[in-house]
């Protein structure tokens, strides 16, 4: 069986790639995809701990995280569509609806 540290390392690398994508990308949909990447990195870490500790609660937490991620992607893409319909852009540096 593969050691726990390898799973944690893969999770950390994936999380860092997601952070880099969120910080550098300017397309809103790609930013959403990078957020999904970070969520799945955390899920890998949770499942690894849960499996190595023989506890099922971590997997149930991952289940709830999947549900919340589905809801978040749904609402987020709807917001992207609404913004794109009002002012024709998907560039998040040009969206300043909430700027005071």
Q: Write the CB contacts of 50 (distance below 8 Å, at least 6 apart in sequence).
A: 56, 57, 58, 59, 61, 62
| Binding of residue 95 to another protein (CB under 8 A) | no
Of 14 and 99, which CB lies nearer to another protein in the complex structure? Answer: 14
Q: What is the phi/psi pair of residue 89, to 5°?
A: -155, 155
| Binding of residue 15 to another protein (CB under 8 A) | yes
- The strand pairing partners of 12, in sequence order, are none
Shortest Cβ 48–another protein spacing (Å): 6
Q: Write the CB contacts of 87 (distance below 8 Å, at least 6 apart in sequence).
A: 94, 95
Restricted to residues 43-82, the positions that interact with another protein (CB under 8 A) are: 43-44, 47-48, 50-57, 59-60, 62-64, 66-75, 77-82
| Binding of residue 96 to another protein (CB under 8 A) | no
* CA dihedral sign of residues 57, 61, 67, 70: negative
- Contact residues for another protein, defined by CB under 8 A: 2, 4-5, 7-21, 23-27, 29-30, 32-34, 36-37, 40, 43-44, 47-48, 50-57, 59-60, 62-64, 66-75, 77-84, 86, 90-91, 97
């Amino acid at each position: 069986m593969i050691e726990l540290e390898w799973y944690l390392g893969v999770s950390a690398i994936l999380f860092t790639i997601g952070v880099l994508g969120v910080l550098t990308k300017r397309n809103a949909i790609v930013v959403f995809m990078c957020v999904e990447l970070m969520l799945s990195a955390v899920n890998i870490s949770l499942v690894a701990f849960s499996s190595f500790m023989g506890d099922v609660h971590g997997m149930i937490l991952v289940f709830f995280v999947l549900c919340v991620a589905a809801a978040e992607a749904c609402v987020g893409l709807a917001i992207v569509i609404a913004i794109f319909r009002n002012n024709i852009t998907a560039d998040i540096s040009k969206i300043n609806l909430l700027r005071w």
